[in-house]
Amino acid sequence: MVLFLKFFLKTPIFNLEVFMQKVIVFKDIKNKRWTVWSQDRTKHLGYMDELFMQNVTFFVDERKRQKIIKSKKRFPHAWIIGTLSKKSLKTNKQIVYNPYLFKHFVEKSSNKSRFKAKNVYLNKEGLVFC
């Protein structure tokens, strides 16, 4: 948690006003970090190794997913939309997404589709827990 806050305080674009703001997040394939955009996608807020979010919606663009399946090239087409949070949230279920296997984000243990979650933790390895 301390490292998480240090990252925000050292990065000029991330100040305390960013927290409790609705954002769009996706995993950047090249730098292996979470990319954070403003909800209206007009402002790139930066990259993060890990973050906590509340009131989350998992979104997959089906048209772009089909394009990925045909071309076998990876590009952003699945997002996590929610409110950034400063505090650690209790999470225990791992959420996964693979465009070749699933149309939606799913719980790893049961393959049950997930569209929303109250609390989410996104870690350095690119894993999502809710």
Q: What is the pLDDT of residue 19?
A: 67
Give the pLDDT of residue 80.
Answer: 92
What does the block give as tokens for 35? 């990319």
Q: What share of the chain is helix, strand, coil (3-state, %, to 5)?
A: 15, 40, 50
Of the candidates 84, 72, 93, 104, which has an alpha carbon nearest to the alpha carbon of residue 39? Answer: 84
Q: Determine the residue type at 81.
A: I
Using alpha carbons only, give the angle 10, 78, 12 rounded to the nearest 5 degrees.
15
Which pLDDT belongs to residue 2? 42
* Residue 80: both structure tokens together: 């996590």
CA distance 73 to 5: 34
Q: Which of 57, 45, 124, 59 is nearest to 97 (CA)?
A: 59
Report the DSSP beta bridge partners of residue 56. 117
By CB atoms closer than 10 A (0-12, 13-18, 19+), residue 74 is: exposed
Domain ranges of the chain: 2-129
Instruction: From first to last of the 130 residues of the chain, give the pLDDT tens digit.
Output: 444 444 444 444 455 556 678 999 988 888 888 999 988 888 888 898 888 999 999 999 999 889 988 998 888 888 999 999 877 777 788 999 888 999 999 989 898 888 999 889 988 887 788 8
| CA-based radius of gyration for the chain | 14
